[in-house]
Structure 1
């Protein structure tokens, strides 16, 4: 049976997708009224809105978001640009962003930069052409697109998620100093001096901030730091292979024994995964011979052997904060509060690896 109220006129048989005029005819209103409905017309009577909604359900009609954006000059679309989409952390971020955006009546357009400045620029320009309401971006660690980002920020709101080029921007980040300090202090409380394995050169400011936090914590404890040597110029998202390679070289070199290292703090859970394989290949049992800590609490972390001690980022709150920034009115910002700035603490999750 039709979902239309009984007093609505029946429409003639259609060929092809329904149009806005079909909705107007079925609801017994003008096309202008239907257009006003889709553009958020608050002046429409409840009965009129009900008739239009019923007609849309029956005709299975939804407006072309690009056409709506042309009329309004801005859409309900939010652009999201991430370096990788398959990475477990960013998959969790996307899920949170989609859920939160839906509560605000927003939809996401997702682009991947593949950690390439040229692809990042192309993604940003494509989103600009689609007149998105704003952009959430995890930027590539390169200044190549700094001028483009500055230009776009004068046209729309851009929220930097997990990374930024400079702190003078809207940003939502994990509190990297707090989270690494949690892990280092936990190892020290267990009577184990930790070494540190940083991430490849792909993310700013998390990479230098996490290293700085490790160094500060060791100095505060009166201990010399021990950082696993890596090739500084290496840019890769293959974290497991990266950790396996450099931790294996470090263990083979042997200086960690002389330094009385009893634990390894890794900048991400994926690094910890590669590090634990390298340990086993050198006859060491993770969680016994060397404690191991990761960072992020990815979905696989509790199912490793041993289950991974880690710092859990509050991805849900981070995602909500990013959408909140895009939803704030322009007059929220002023000379004393030019930017939306959120750094959220992590939670220590203790498991068998430490």
Structure 2
């Protein structure tokens, strides 16, 4: 039996020829060196070190060689691929450093320069509407009057012609301050400020009284146990409902814009006689026949309830030391919370009390 032919000349496979491997490796190194961006280098890696690159295809051809030739060919291809991969790694590091430096230069910020943007912040809309109302009436020559939120029972009720048996004095509507003999309440309206103004001033009196008030209402989308009112009081000689109507029309236009007006509906309040509910012309449809029927804001009525008003009851004048034979007056009151919610189409009154800065930010610093 004859022995294997050790002098067997291996079949020449062109991709594995030393000159061909050297050429392919040289082209790969040149392509890597020529890459000026990471994108160019990525393409060079795909072309010269990827699965379909000449060196990768040559590596697959090693299996076509006789066993005694495979070791040398494998070493030759492995050395070429290793050299190319090392060149790619080195070039990647260089280009990453270059691009990082360029990015840092482009996005550089001089922290020593003055800040060109400051967060302005926002004020609560209730605060700003109170100041707006105050500005409107101060411009008319009125004064802004204030009073305590824990108020004497007499000032909150008796002085306003709310007798001892009036339903508003029961625990269902009023927060009473303990002990019971203190005769103090959390004020249910800002009318006590009107009483204090008449007791401490000499007519003519023109005061507007914005402030926080309390009633035992359940918190829901349209009611809160704590809310805000603005009340106005005018005491002078010869005042009538006509002066009241003109005042409220001007007030409505100042808050909601030109063209706004009010209407009166007969009503009853113990502290005014005659009394009226104040309706505001719908600020969306303006009672326009073409659109009032489909208006969701006023529900097709063309008018929105705004507050209450009337000529000051002579009993209130007498209780507060004002001569009803010489002086007459008018008074009105509106809820500021509902004024804000209606003006800005806020669906839930509780949004005013949640303390979420995302709610107040759109209002900025003024109305």
Task: Output the TM-score relative to the length of structure 2.
Answer: 0.21
Task: Output the TM-score relative to the length of structure 1.
Answer: 0.21
